[in-house]
Amino acid sequence: MQQMKFGETVFPCNPASLKISYAKHIVPRFSPFGGSIVENYGSEPIRVSGEGELPGPAASAAFAAVKTAFSSNASQTLIVGEESFPAFFETLTWEADAQSGAIRYRFSFVEEIG
């Protein structure tokens, strides 16, 4: 898998786990004249989430680039695997391991529709 990228920011290490969710907005309704009806209102935004670890002493510098990308409020192109679409960086959580210097992180992105 190619390096995960958001805008110009390349994730230093691909996430250890990755989840890409596709959904449709399906609404079941009841009509007194027609019985049950199911309506498809189209696709929901694609959601991407995952977690990984940035190892060693360079972890802080590597994470700083990811954090800067999170600070941007603009939609940018997210490239993950073979997928590529405009998205917003929704969440970013991190925790540091004082002993090894590694930084573990979790993230989520939401596709921009429109």
Could you tell me the mean pLDDT of each successive run of 10 residues in the chain, 114 residues long? 89 92 96 92 96 88 90 89 93 90 94 89
State pLDDT tens for residues 79-93: 988 889 999 999 999
State pLDDT tens for residues 38-52: 999 999 999 999 999
Domain that holds residue 99: 5-111
Number of domains making up the chain:
1
Q: Burial of 39 by CB count in 10 Å (0-12 exposed, 13-18 middle, 19+ buried)? A: exposed
pLDDT at position 103, please?
Answer: 93
Rounded to whole angstroms, what are the CA distances from 10 to 65, 90, 106, 114?
8, 17, 16, 25
pLDDT at position 97, please?
Answer: 85
The rounded distance, in Å, linking the Cα atoms of 48 and 10 is 16
The CATH number assigned to the domain holding 95 equals: 2.40.30.200
pLDDT at position 2, please?
Answer: 85
pLDDT at position 76, please?
Answer: 92
pLDDT at position 23, please?
Answer: 97
Q: Can you give the pTM of this predicted structure?
A: 0.85
